[in-house]
Structure 1
């Protein structure tokens, strides 16, 4: 039976997961809670915390806020300022290989390399999302009208991918063959990078605000419907011509957050009423992890072994669910 250990977050949970063996909860009030042998409250930003992402090697947590700071929280509790942009809200963040970090405000995106060198990329319209390619050489910038691919650490002309509308998030498939964006309308758009073939993924009743790649990148799980929608990305054409899986269907609540298991074909699904379930791809078998509560689930994160799941909500409810009996 799953065992739930509640955590008093007290503020909107922006992100959660595990840093070494400790659970972490990055909160909208600028603090990060660490849950291990003892509970630690670390005030990381003077204002609100707007974005947080684990480093690629999972040894640190990178955060940004409305104080214009990009910071790194080390596993030992040390907080390091990586970059500052005074008077700017930094709400878009991405971590790449080798300690590289990308962040954006307005029409400008920056990449900070591990050496401390920074590169600036300016666009005609506001940046909506950032993503590093799996090997880190390329940075994808979602924007109005499509996406732009830049060389992250070297010169060279960018590659433009066009599709009408506002693109708000970006993600590469783990094998680096596809780029997918979320959109202002209730849809995803994607491109096969080898030939810029467009891929349109529609039918959502709400905006897609959460997504997660399954183990080996075979599926992309998404929120925005009354079930978790999992688009298949195996085969030569990705999701085109294939029907998505629909897991954890409910008639009375929308999926607000998804997180794929790190080792198994399983996804954790959080709903707009606070419920959390775990679903298996092959047969849609469900395990209830948390009953309905106050507010929508805003964050989910597995530990590397897939034995613990951290969760948080918009109303400041949080906890760690252990799957060990």
Structure 2
């Protein structure tokens, strides 16, 4: 049995997720909305716009960046903590790392704040497109024009350069740390196998890939940008090269805008540009309708830690909590 608790925020939902068991929504108006025990708590986090958000790795807090130049940490209780401040800058990229580290970027500069409060700075020749931390070790990937730079945050070891012509936006490591993948504005993904620098191209999308997520155990990389969720296989020695992707939740007239893989099962939640949300099982492509179309496209999707609940948000501020077990 499915139940849906709808919320109405009246503005763009930048990110949604669970802080422990509490649904949390980061809104473009600068607030974070929390729902402990079902009751709404609104927290003013940024004066102006909230531009980027992600969960801390321990799942206890939301890390946000705004056009007020602040990087802030919001938990379910206690005051909002300011982690860093860059006056007159827009913080439009944030990333959560191990050991309490937080990455953030503005323009051509990437920064890492360690749990001690110390800041480490990394400059790029062109604007930073995305940040990601490796699954092991304090290593930071900085996406930029013409490739990705990998920095060891706590050592003086030389950076590793991964080159490919063009702009690179979102970047992520595979869960086993063997691959780095970026999204590109020409409706494509690019990847590198770190053991030997082998390039991988994943193309054919009719739209831009704005959402990516690894499946349970990292066997597939799920992506938006087509009229189905495209899942590239990353098992085997060559990753996706020479293998056909899965195509799940195909709709002839709507593009996928968000994907979220179940934390333990080979199941995916898919959000579309008309606001519909489906759950689809990899093995037999069985579909379950989780939400009917709404007023605008799905802008964020996230499961809880056990895969029993799902939160979503939309471009126009519709949002909700879907419980799969009634």
TM-score band w.r.t. shorter chain: over 0.9
User: Within 2, Cα distance between the matches of 1:78 and 1:305?
Assistant: 28
Contact 2:267/2:282, CA 8 A, preserved across alignment: yes
Q: Which residue of structure 2 aligns with residue 279 of structure 1?
A: 280
Post-superposition offset of 1:155: 1.6
Post-superposition offset of 1:135: 1.3
User: Within 1, Cα distance between the matches of 2:212 and 2:137?
Assistant: 20
Q: Which residue of structure 2 aligns with residue 5 of structure 1?
A: 5
Post-superposition offset of 1:22: 1.0
User: Within 2, Cα distance between the matches of 1:36 and 1:269?
Assistant: 25
SS in 2 for 1:216: helix
Task: Point out the structure with the larger strand share.
Answer: 1
Q: Which residue of structure 2 aligns with residue 290 of structure 1?
A: 291
- Post-superposition CA distance 1:89-141 (Å, at most 9, x none): 00011100111001011111001111111111011111000000001421000
Q: 1:19 to 1:211 in 2, by over 3 A?
A: same
SS in 1 for 2:145: strand
Q: Which residue of structure 2 aligns with residue 105 of structure 1?
A: 106
Post-superposition offset of 1:36: 2.2
Counterpart mapping for 1:68-147 below 5 A: 68-147=69-148
User: Within 2, Cα distance between the matches of 1:186 and 1:201?
Assistant: 9
Q: 1:302 to 1:77 in 2, by over 3 A?
A: farther
Q: Which residue of structure 2 aligns with residue 36 of structure 1?
A: 36
Contact 1:177/1:194, CA 8 A, preserved across alignment: yes
Long gaps (5+) in structure 2? none
User: Within 2, Cα distance between the matches of 1:263 and 1:11?
Assistant: 32
TM-score by length of 1: 0.99
Post-superposition offset of 1:227: 0.1
TM-score by length of 2: 0.98
Post-superposition offset of 1:56: 0.6
Confirm whether residue 207 of structure 1 aligns to residue 203 of structure 2: no
Q: Which residue of structure 2 aligns with residue 196 of structure 1?
A: 197
Deviates more, 1:282-291 or 1:75-84: 75-84
Q: How many residues align?
A: 325
- Post-superposition CA distance 1:43-93 (Å, at most 9, x none): 100111011110111011111100000000123142100000011000011
User: Within 1, Cα distance between the matches of 2:312 and 2:298?
Assistant: 7
SS in 1 for 2:157: coil
User: Within 1, Cα distance between the matches of 2:105 and 2:292?
Assistant: 37
Q: Which residue of structure 2 aligns with residue 18 of structure 1?
A: 18
User: Within 2, Cα distance between the matches of 1:110 and 1:132?
Assistant: 12
SS in 1 for 2:172: strand
Contact 1:223/1:255, CA 8 A, preserved across alignment: yes
SS in 2 for 1:167: coil
Q: Which residue of structure 2 aligns with residue 218 of structure 1?
A: 219
Q: Which residue of structure 2 aligns with residue 228 of structure 1?
A: 229
User: Within 1, Cα distance between the matches of 2:78 and 2:25?
Assistant: 13
SS in 2 for 1:251: coil
SS in 2 for 1:164: coil
User: Within 2, Cα distance between the matches of 1:56 and 1:177?
Assistant: 20
User: Within 2, Cα distance between the matches of 1:29 and 1:8?
Assistant: 13
User: Within 2, Cα distance between the matches of 1:96 and 1:153?
Assistant: 13
User: Within 1, Cα distance between the matches of 2:85 and 2:136?
Assistant: 26
SS in 2 for 1:93: strand
SS in 2 for 1:168: coil
- Post-superposition CA distance 1:230-276 (Å, at most 9, x none): 00111111001110000000001000000000111000000000000
User: Within 1, Cα distance between the matches of 2:137 and 2:213?
Assistant: 19
User: Within 1, Cα distance between the matches of 2:2 and 2:245?
Assistant: 28
Post-superposition offset of 1:11: 1.2
Deviates more, 1:149-158 or 1:228-237: 149-158
User: Within 2, Cα distance between the matches of 1:150 and 1:21?
Assistant: 34
Q: Which residue of structure 2 aligns with residue 174 of structure 1?
A: 175
